[in-house]
Structure 1
Amino acid sequence: MRLGYGLNLEQTQKLIMTPELRQAITILQLSALELSMYVEEQLLENPLLETQEESLDIKEDVEPTVEEERPVEEKWEVDWQDYFHDQDENRIRHERVVVEEKQRFDPFIAASPTLLEHLLGQLHVQKISASLPVAEYIVGNLDDNGFLPITLKDIANETNVSLKTAEEALALVQTLDPLGVGARNLEECLRLQLPLLPDYPPELPELLKYLEDLAAGRLQRIAHALKIPIYRVQELADLVRKLDPKPGLSFSGPGDVRYVVPDVVIEEIEGEFIILVNDITVPRLGINKVYREALSLEEGTDTRKFVEQKLNAASWLIRSIEQRRLTLYKVSSAIVKWQTEFLRYGIRHLRPLTLRDIAEEIGVHESTVSRATAHKYIQTPRGIFEFKFFFASSLGRGRNNANSITTEGIKLALRDLISSENPKSPYSDQKLADLLKAKDMEISRRTVAKYRDELGIAATTGRKRY
């Protein structure tokens, strides 16, 4: 075998992830609010980007041109001198129209008080006592549910008071609204709330000692321990369910409020569904013409290189945002086409749908559809849903079968069966599976139990009434 050095010339093709392509993919995945923040960052980084006021002209809708449908991967080179020249010649002068904006009261809406603020406000109107500072310490250590995770001994050591003073402070906290805060366990929490039940039965405090049996549905064991009829135990259990096991959760904490801004809005107008891509939160971008003089400089200068680099980055950003809008529109149009029956008649008519179906419909790869729909919401006449809600899997039959069933449809049928059952003799999971099979929805008993848990419906023992 002969060894040696040599030069070979060969051609290969491979995919290179350019920075521009990475940016386009990133923009496609962003939601409306995330895109708005991303654009704000780019406005700070790129001096050639500027926001533009929306044109006063009403432009007619036109079909996308070949230029608009060019693949994202293609490099977009622009003769910027001709670009600025054309912009000046075609520019239409408009007088600025000043619209008097009505006063809005949104910024003046006060935030809901937190549990800490609510309790401290009550403590500060209490009579001054030695236990008040300790009570403030206790309130500051309550968890989000309103429970006290530390012991009285720890409180006494941390505040340098006696154990009796710590007990007095805890008793003071436990009288505050909402009742149940400051409890050290669930039984104590529910016991503190008993005064909320007018004329509660004398057996109710004793029932709270058997919360584990009550949660497991072992009513017979409780009836035997309390020496009362089982139907009486069930009546007491109904009273316990009126109490709040987590009284602190009724108060908001910092960052608890999360708003959903739909990326696409679908409206039905005169029997036709209209699709609107919600880009109102994203500023309209344009190229700052102040830098045009830099393009007249001699090629190769640092200033011209900088301006050309920023111009290309700005143009690619604008193009990527527009490409995102077109992709969202195409995906939404395909979803409306597939799920028209759902939009008109409700959840029972939700059709099985996959990413591949939409990808084939609009002529893109599945990954593009996945990125375009990730973490985005769509507002429909039926409510606001995540995009992934419409990609419902099919059970049993092929997805193109008109009678195919989605998991959401089976859950709805399962809920209907349970709501119509005899409460004294509720259906078992196997019986529910048999009844669904009779409706041409063949699933296993384990799947029934899984869907029942997802719906928050108790098992047979938890639904039985005596």
Structure 2
Amino acid sequence: MKQTQTLSPQMMQSMEILQMGSQELLEYIENQAQENPVLEMEDTYTDQDQSAVLRRKLEWLESTDSQNRAYHQQDSEDDERDPISNYGNADETEENLYLYVLSQLELMDLEPAVMEAGKLLVESLNQNGWLDEDLSELAAEWELPLELLERALAVVQTLEPAGVGARSLSECLVLQLRRRKEDSALALKIAEGYLDPLSKNRYGCIAKALGVTQEEVHAACDVIRGLNPRPGSGFAARENLIYINPDIFVVNFPDHFELLTNDYYFPSLHISSYYCRMLRDSEDKEVKDYLTDKVRQAKWVVHSIEQRRSTLLQCAQHILELQEDFFRRGPGHLRPMSLADVAQRVGVHESTVSRTVKDKYLQCASGVYPLSYFFSRSLGNASGASGEAASPDAAKALLKKLIAGEDKRKPLSDQKLCELMEREGCTLSRRTVAKYRDELNIPSTTGRRQYE
């Protein structure tokens, strides 16, 4: 004799729904509505005020500066599509780099051979807008004259965005500089032959080689750093992109915070009154058994979805309370927090919290973050005057602050950074400092040094 614990199919279904992300849950709801005739699905946003929809579109366009052109084009070409869906998902009609460049090429009055060669080159562009393959190899593969491909590439490189069709970083930057109206002769020379010294901040070396002052080199390098080395980055990839739909919104008021769930993204589910009447009035046993089973399934699905929403809201509320400093002051102010901390407050098991935050996202004034981001381990030591344990987020913020204030001619070594952080109450090993610096994409001492 032994005692075992098993989960019912309904409980397993409830746990599966709890850990579903927003897109997965939406697909699940649609499938359930198709499989179960008792369930009726109604969109929550079909009757929204059109002015509110337009206002959200304008806010979206403002927040996606480099991509405004593509999304605006998409909306204007198909106004009959669901106005809300454009915020979440890219579809097959979304303009990508290939379509954008090709549409410009087709408007040009070119020889048929140059036009066809240009189309082949545009199809060969990578996602960044560069041409990776060698022209001679392409000429042999397509059985076209090399001179024809060179003429076609020269045409492609005149199109928007500036830098498209480049075969190297230097060529990409040069193409962009040549379109600038202001004088960029010095920047052109640096982009053509001095990118390696520029990457190592050897301004004095560049100034000496070109016979100019370091101040002029600094100004020219600032111009170069303002260019886009990936001209295709503002467009959608050829494959469909999936954008994040936040599950929770944190609204910041002067004296308090408010949590909002993204309910408009999901259609509302309810039990069909027609089938309920049929169940009540029918005298056919098979019909009653069938409808009883379907109604029970439908009620459990609706209950599980509502329970998911309630648990998610509770967890988010306690995350907000525990990480209030982050929501007020932004990144760099996370405090150590574990699943157990939230589970104890909510009154559930840690595994339930883990399922709840899986693939869920929160949007606040600082941006969009996965809920798992707010669970930060303790570094095991007190941080500063507060006496609280430091988190990796706080340690990285302190590391960035120290590096930002260093003398660029004598940048701090990892060991020196380690010592300075310990004085601030954040004790880390040198290896951990180096690891965090790499995660922040900050170069080593050699890469940060600026030479005379």
Relative to the length of structure 1, the TM-score reads 0.76
Out of 144, 149, 152, which is 1:169 matched to? Answer: 152
Structure 1, residues 380-403: CA drift from partner, whole Å, max 9, x if none?
Answer: 45544321122112112389x852
461 and 38 in structure 1: CA distance in 2 versus 1, 3 angstrom threshold: same
State the match for 2:67 in structure 1: none
State the match for 2:265 in structure 1: 281
328 and 314 in structure 1: CA distance in 2 versus 1, 3 angstrom threshold: same
Conservation of the 8 A alpha-carbon contact between 1:210 and 1:222 = no
1:110 has 2:93 as partner? no
Identity of aligned residues (%): 35
Worse-matched range after superposition: 123-132 or 356-365: 123-132
Give, in whole Å, the separation in 1 of the partners of 2:260 and 2:147. Answer: 66
1:338 has 2:322 as partner? yes
Paired AA for residue 141 in structure 1: S
Give, in whole Å, the separation in 2 of the partners of 1:161 and 1:53. Answer: 55
State the match for 1:88 in structure 2: none
Counterpart secondary structure, 1:131:
helix
Displacement of 1:348 after TM fit? 5.2
- Bigger radius of gyration, 1 or 2? 1
Paired AA for residue 401 in structure 2: D
Conservation of the 8 A alpha-carbon contact between 1:427 and 1:460 = yes
Conservation of the 8 A alpha-carbon contact between 2:382 and 2:426 = no
Give, in whole Å, the separation in 1 of the partners of 2:409 and 2:201. Answer: 16
Structure 1, residues 226-253: CA drift from partner, whole Å, max 9, x if none?
Answer: 5869958964655543443222223333
State the match for 1:435 in structure 2: 420
Paired AA for residue 175 in structure 2: L
Give, in whole Å, the separation in 2 of the partners of 1:52 and 1:123. Answer: 45
Out of 114, 117, 135, which is 1:152 matched to? Answer: 135
Superposition map of 1:83-102 within 5 A:
101-102=49-50
222 and 14 in structure 1: CA distance in 2 versus 1, 3 angstrom threshold: farther
Structure 1, residues 102-121: CA drift from partner, whole Å, max 9, x if none?
Answer: 45445994337432223223
Give, in whole Å, the separation in 2 of the partners of 1:170 and 1:273. Answer: 55
Conservation of the 8 A alpha-carbon contact between 1:120 and 1:136 = yes
Structure 1, residues 164-197: CA drift from partner, whole Å, max 9, x if none?
Answer: 2222222222232333322333333334344246
Conservation of the 8 A alpha-carbon contact between 1:223 and 1:230 = no
Counterpart secondary structure, 2:356:
helix
Displacement of 1:331 after TM fit? 1.2
Counterpart secondary structure, 1:307:
helix
State the match for 1:44 in structure 2: 34
State the match for 1:34 in structure 2: 24
Displacement of 1:49 after TM fit? 1.2
> Which consecutive residues of structure 1, in runs of 5 or more, have no partner in the other structure?
1-9, 55-97
Give, in whole Å, the separation in 1 of the partners of 2:117 and 2:134. Answer: 13
Out of 414, 421, 424, which is 2:406 matched to? Answer: 421
Give, in whole Å, the separation in 1 of the partners of 2:115 and 2:47. Answer: 56
Worse-matched range after superposition: 148-157 or 366-375: 148-157
Give every structure 1 segment of 4 or more consecutive aligned residues whose post-TM-superposition deviation is greater than 6 Å. 227-230
Out of 301, 308, 329, which is 1:317 matched to? Answer: 301
Conservation of the 8 A alpha-carbon contact between 1:32 and 1:278 = no
121 and 458 in structure 1: CA distance in 2 versus 1, 3 angstrom threshold: same
Worse-matched range after superposition: 429-438 or 242-251: 242-251
Paired AA for residue 45 in structure 1: E
Counterpart secondary structure, 2:369:
strand
Relative to the length of structure 2, the TM-score reads 0.78
Give, in whole Å, the separation in 1 of the partners of 2:282 and 2:124. Answer: 66
Conservation of the 8 A alpha-carbon contact between 2:201 and 2:448 = no
More helix by share: 2
113 and 387 in structure 1: CA distance in 2 versus 1, 3 angstrom threshold: same
Paired AA for residue 27 in structure 1: I
Superposition map of 1:426-465 within 5 A:
426-465=411-450
Counterpart secondary structure, 1:434:
helix
Counterpart secondary structure, 1:127:
coil
Displacement of 1:447 after TM fit? 1.7
290 and 449 in structure 1: CA distance in 2 versus 1, 3 angstrom threshold: same
319 and 179 in structure 1: CA distance in 2 versus 1, 3 angstrom threshold: closer
Superposition map of 1:57-456 within 5 A:
101-102=49-50, 104-105=53-54, 106=57, 109-111=72-74, 113-129=95-111, 130-196=113-179, 198-201=182-185, 205=189, 208-209=192-193, 211-212=195-196, 214-215=198-199, 217=200, 219=202, 226=209, 231=214, 235=218, 237-254=221-238, 258-267=242-251, 271-292=255-276, 293-294=278-279, 301-347=285-331, 349-380=333-364, 382-397=366-381, 402-456=387-441
Give, in whole Å, the separation in 1 of the partners of 2:369 and 2:24. Answer: 18
Counterpart secondary structure, 1:247:
coil
Give, in whole Å, the separation in 1 of the partners of 2:151 and 2:330. Answer: 57
Paired AA for residue 187 in structure 1: S
151 and 289 in structure 1: CA distance in 2 versus 1, 3 angstrom threshold: same
Paired AA for residue 121 in structure 1: S
Q: RMSD between aligned alpha carbons?
A: 3.6
Give, in whole Å, the separation in 2 of the partners of 1:344 and 1:218. Answer: 36
Give, in whole Å, the separation in 1 of the partners of 2:48 and 2:302. Answer: 30
Give, in whole Å, the separation in 2 of the partners of 1:433 and 1:131. Answer: 59
259 and 218 in structure 1: CA distance in 2 versus 1, 3 angstrom threshold: closer
438 and 229 in structure 1: CA distance in 2 versus 1, 3 angstrom threshold: farther
Worse-matched range after superposition: 231-240 or 35-44: 231-240
